[in-house]
Structure formats: structure tokens, C-alpha cells
Chains A and B, each alone.
Chain A
Amino acid sequence: MSFISYLINGISLGSVYAIIALGYTMVYGIAKMLNFAHGDIIMVGSYVIFCLMSGTGMSPLVSVILSIVCCTALGITVEAIAYRPLRGAASPLAVLITAIGVSYFLQNTALLIFGANTKQFTSVIKMEPIQLFSGQVTVTGETLVTIVCCLIIMIVLLTFINKTKAGQAMLAVSEDQGAAKLMGINVNGTISLTFAIGSGLAAIAGMLLCSSYPSLTPYTGSMPGIKAFVAAVFGGIGSIPGAFVGGIILGIIEIMSKAYISSQLSDAIVFMVLIIVLLVKPTGLMGKKIQEKV
């Protein structure tokens, strides 16, 4: 029975990775950049919830909504200040290094404001655990909500992209920025929208992550952020179902290797997965192959 409970934990952690990976994959698909600071936006979102709930005693729902608003605003600001000026730069390294700078900036700002001490995050989700198989497997409320949240987000996002005009604009921009511009699509606006959605999702991911793993430090977001990128690559970067599948599989791999191989080596195993995927199938499970042109 322990196998099933590990599996459920893995799916739960994987759902969090999937939500983060959605943000990565959308930004990568549209702006063609690796947003290194994405993981740190998760951390900012968690701190906002933490402050609102323990500082002012707001209800969990209100603080989560405010956190999403804050992160969305942060994402748009970061894009406008740090990334937009570098669009069309001669070297692809320029925007990558800037993103690392932004990540560093967010971490150190949090370090200055909140200090390096671990903050105990009170779970946002108040739900009784569910007993399965006559009490042999316990599923916590956090686990259940995480998985449901992830499914809802996936469906909403897919509908948004396929059924609305803004979503179609996103697809067009990811396909060919120049042509999209000629068709009268506001490219900058669309990219801002992508960052807004990605950062909003990051806030939700932060809430779910810290509810399940309640220790909050300025570095909370960086490791899950990198692992979610692994998930996005695994699923095929730019593909939304891919990010979902990649996230879930990665979560299961991580929990299983923690349980059955070695807890210290689990990170190494997750990264090994990335390397193997990139070597065997660089476009991921559901990615498209892009031919490089001269």
C-alpha cells in the first residue's frame, strides 16, 4: 500500500511542477526565452500569502487572490523593465543572463526583507484527510486540492488558448512574431499577457507548494523552478499538455527515487532524466521539431 501513497504524493508534487511548468512553457513558446526568475515569483507569491495571513489575519481566499494579483503585476513589470529592452539582442545569452539577474534580485530582496530564517507557512487548505482502502492510504486535503487545481488550470488554459482571440494571438506570436505583427496582433501586449498568466499560475503553484511543504525561505522557489523547467523540457517545450504530462511524471520519479533509492540522490536522478531526455529526444514528449534556417 505504501506504493500507492507514494504514487499519490508523486502526482501531487507533479501537479505543482506541472503548474509551474505551464508558466515556463508558455513564456518559452512565445518569448523564446528561459525565464530563470519564474521560480522566484513562486517564492514572492508565497511570501505575500504568508504576510497577509499571519500579519493581517486575512482569510485564505482573499490572500491567495491578492497574491495572484501581486505576482501578475510583478511578472508584467519584470518583463517590461528587464526583458523587453533586450528583445532582438544580438546574442541569446543577453536575456538569459538578465533573467538570472532578476532571479538574484528577487531572492536578495526577499532575503533583506524577511531574513534567511525559515518561515513556517500555515496551510491555506483546510480539508480533512481522506482514508482510502479502509484506512491504509491517507490522502491529505492539500494533495487532493493540488491535483484538482492542476486539472482545472489545464482545462481552462487549453480552452483559453484554443477558443479566445487572445489565445489565438498567443499561438500566432509563438509561431512567427513578424507575421503576427503584420496581421495586426499587438506582439508586446501578447507577450505581456503571457507573462501575466505565467506569473499568476506561479502564485497558485507557490500556494500549493507551501501548503504541502510548509517551510518558506528566499530560496524556496529556485529548486522547484528548475525542476519545473525540466518537466517542461520533458513534455516538450511550448506544449501545454506536454508540461502537464512532464510535470506529473517528474513528480512521480522524484518521490519514487526518494522512497526507494536515496533521498540525497533524488535531485541528481531528476536532473539525469533531463539529460537523458535532451539526448534521446530533445524536443520532448510532445514538442515540435524546429529546423534551424540560415
Chain B
Amino acid sequence: MKKIKMSKHLKDNLTTFSIVTVAFIIVEILKATGHISSLMKGLLVPVCIYIICAIALNLCVGILGELSLGHAGFMCIGAFSGAFFSKCTQDVITFAPLRFTLAIIIGALFAALFGFLIGIPVLRLKGDYLAIVTLAFGEIIKNVINVLYVGKDTDGFRLSLKDTVSLHLSGEGKIIINGAQGITGTPNDSSFEVGFVLILITLIIVLNLINSRDGRAIMSIRDNTIAAESIGINITGYKLMAFTISAGLAGIAGVLYAHNLNSLMAQPKNFGYNMSITILLFVVLGGIGNIRGSVIAAVVLTLLPELLRGLADYRMLIYAIVLIVLMIFNWSPKILELRKKYSIKGLIGAKKAGEVK
């Protein structure tokens, strides 16, 4: 019998998929047998949201090598466009799975469109500038949504940036996006199962991209832009491609988020700069450029605080310290030298260092 030879990538990817699937099955069994507290149940969808976000950001930070601090903004766009669609079509499309699928596609497309539009100017910059400009865009998105009023009546949609009165809605018109109050009454279509499917889709997209010709081109830009350019790689095109996909995936997470809550508001705590940092934390702790690591870090860091209630006050402080220590441990030239010198298994150390890079 001929043995099918699996490439290293395929094996790696299959491991990631099986970890996610096994975790899903275990949680489902626990849920069915009632071994899961209601608090934990409430966390299942947020975990999925964080995982998708972390994978999306890792594509940008780890694979493309540019730090984006605006992914919460893309999530925000996805959330609002998805929720907007669901709210409008609530009476027309009564079959929830179809409506939610469409909402996800629309949310992802809108976020990707914004990622593309923002990417064109932003990706000309790099490093610190890119980080701060993406942060600026994230804040702009949040601010604009907070003053956005959209209503619907018999004449179609009406839009205003001032208040609900200036929409001039006719008698039976209703307000869909109500400024800082956001969208209320979005159908609760999100569930852990949907989240799991979306995680799988995200993983398939990202892992396939990484191991494709395009993915290798993107990574070559990260490793040496000038060298990549000199061998004819279209720098702007590939950067834009990775950024757009990353934004679209963040949009998916946003749609999931919007359909998990009754009222959706663009506040600093859910779509602000701190959210972007929290996602970045998952990426850094899971290993920059390591997709499986992001998934695990997102799960652990979301569930851990709930398990260690006593430490809740110190949670963020500990995260901050871990972030600093980890960065120094992984990147400091002196410490890397020491690690190489004193690693028990020189080979594994070298391999790990290569992976991180």
C-alpha cells in the first residue's frame, strides 16, 4: 500500500483543526450533561469572537508584520453593518440561519471594504506610524458611528449626523441606528455552534493563505521589504490583500458580537483602543505569527479570569507585566544570546527562535 505522505504544513494545520474540533465536542458534551455553569455558558460566544479576532490580527501582525491598533474599528464596522442588515430584514427573512449567514457575509464585506479603503493610504506607512494611524482610524470609526442616525420609513432610508429629529421620519418610520444608543433589538442569532463554524472558516482561510504562494510573498515582505521588491513582488498589492482579509475576518467577529447582544453600542470598552490592545495581547501571548497559539491564548485568557475570581482585580496588571516580560524574553538580543547558550536542547531552541521570527 502506498503511504500518503503528508507535508509538514498539512500535518500542522490538521493538528490545529483537530484541537479546535475536540475542544468543541468536549464543551458540547459538558453542555449536554449540564456540567457547565451558566457563567461559563455566557462566555462561550465571546471566546469565539476573541479567537476570530486574534486570528485576524495575527494575520496582520505576525504574517504581514505590521502592527494594527485599529482592529476594534473593523469589528465595529462589521458589527454595525451586520446588525443593520438583520434589523432591516427581520420581518422579510424569517429563517434565522439564512438571515444570519447573509448578515455575516455583509458584515465581513463591509469591514473588508473599509480595510481596503483605509489600507490604500495607511499601508504606505510602516511601523510606528502605521500603528498610530490605524489607531486613529479606529477612533474615527467609533466617533462617527456614535453620531450616526439612520431611520427607515416608507420613502426608504434616511440618514443624519445630528439627531433623530433631523431624520424627518414619516408616521410609521422607525429608527434603526440611534446615535450613541446604537442598534437595539438585534435578533439573538449567535450561538456557540455558529461561532465554532466561523472559527473553522477563519482558520481555513488564514492557514491556506499562509501556506500559499501569496502567503509566502506576504511573509517575504515582512522579512525584508526591499529584497521582496527586488524580486518583483507587488508590495502594495500583497500588503493590501493581507490587510483587507484581516479586516474582513475582524468584521465577522463583529457580526457575531452584535448578534450576541440585545443592544449594540460603540463604546470605548467594546470597540475602543483598549479592545484592540486586548486582542493584541492574545496574539503576543500566543506567539506572534503562530495561529494555533492565538487560538489557545484567546481561550485561556478569556476563561482564566473567570476561574480565578480572586485575582480579578490584578488581572490586567498581570497581563501587562506578562506582555512586557514576554516581549523582552523573546526579542531582546542579549537574552536571545543567553537562551541559545543555555538551552537544554539546542535544536529546539533554534527551531523556536526561527518560528518566532
Hey, which bits of chain A sit against chain B, CB under 8 A? 28, 33-34, 82, 85-98, 100-102, 104-105, 108-109, 111-112, 222, 226, 229-230, 233, 262, 264-265, 267-268, 271-272, 274-275, 278-279, 282, 292, 294
> How close is B71's CB to chain A, nearest CB, in angstroms?
14
Most buried by A among B121, B144, B317, B331: B331
Interface assignment of B291: CB less than 8 Å from any CB of chain A: no
Contact A94 B317 (CB under 8 A): no
Contact A86 B323 (CB under 8 A): no
Partner of B332, one of A89, A265, A278: A89
> How close is A293's CB to chain B, nearest CB, in angstroms?
9
Contact B144 A265 (CB under 8 A): yes
Contact of A34 with B139 at beta-carbon distance under 8 Å, contacts A86-B331, A91-B331 already known: no
Contact B133 A274 (CB under 8 A): yes
- Give A145 to B107 CA distance when docked, in angstroms: 50
What chain A residues lie within 8 Å of B139 (beta carbons)?
267-268, 271
Contact A34 B128 (CB under 8 A): yes
Contact of A233 with B331 at beta-carbon distance under 8 Å, contacts A93-B65, A111-B316 already known: no
Partner of A105, one of B122, B137, B143, B320: B320
Contact A264 B317 (CB under 8 A): no
Residue-wise, chain B 256-295 has the 8 Å CB interface mask toward A (1 for contact) of: 0000000000000000010001001000100010000000
Contact of A275 with B65 at beta-carbon distance under 8 Å, contacts A226-B132, A294-B226 already known: no
Contact B332 A100 (CB under 8 A): no
What chain B residues lie within 8 Å of A94 (beta carbons)?
327, 330-331
In the complex, besides A34-B132, A97-B284, 13 extra interface pairs with C-beta distance below 8 angstroms are A33-B128, A85-B328, A86-B332, A93-B65, A101-B324, A101-B327, A104-B316, A233-B132, A268-B144, A271-B136, A271-B137, A278-B133, A279-B124
Interface assignment of B135: CB less than 8 Å from any CB of chain A: yes
Chain B contact residue count (CB 8 A cutoff): 47
Contact B316 A275 (CB under 8 A): no
Contact B128 A109 (CB under 8 A): no
Residue-wise, chain B 303-329 has the 8 Å CB interface mask toward A (1 for contact) of: 000000000011011011101100110
Considering only CB atoms, which chain A residue lies closest to B146 in the complex? A264
A-B contact count (CB 8 A): 124
Partner of B140, one of A102, A222, A226, A268: A268
Contact B140 A272 (CB under 8 A): yes
Interface assignment of B125: CB less than 8 Å from any CB of chain A: yes
14 contacts between A and B (CB under 8 A): A34-B128, A90-B357, A93-B65, A94-B327, A104-B319, A104-B323, A108-B316, A111-B316, A112-B317, A226-B132, A230-B132, A233-B132, A265-B147, A278-B121
What chain B residues lie within 8 Å of A264 (beta carbons)?
143, 146-147
Partner of A98, one of B131, B140, B317, B327: B327
Contact B333 A89 (CB under 8 A): yes
Considering only CB atoms, which chain A residue lies closest to B226 in the complex? A294
Interface assignment of B341: CB less than 8 Å from any CB of chain A: no
Considering only CB atoms, which chain B residue lies closest to A109 in the complex? B317
What chain B residues lie within 8 Å of A33 (beta carbons)?
128
Contact A226 B135 (CB under 8 A): yes
Contact A93 B125 (CB under 8 A): no
Contact A274 B127 (CB under 8 A): no
What chain A residues lie within 8 Å of B128 (beta carbons)?
28, 33-34, 92, 96
- Give A272 to B122 CA distance when docked, in angstroms: 12
Considering only CB atoms, which chain A residue lies closest to B353 in the complex? A90
Interface assignment of B129: CB less than 8 Å from any CB of chain A: yes
Interface assignment of B334: CB less than 8 Å from any CB of chain A: yes
Partner of B321, one of A105, A112, A265: A105
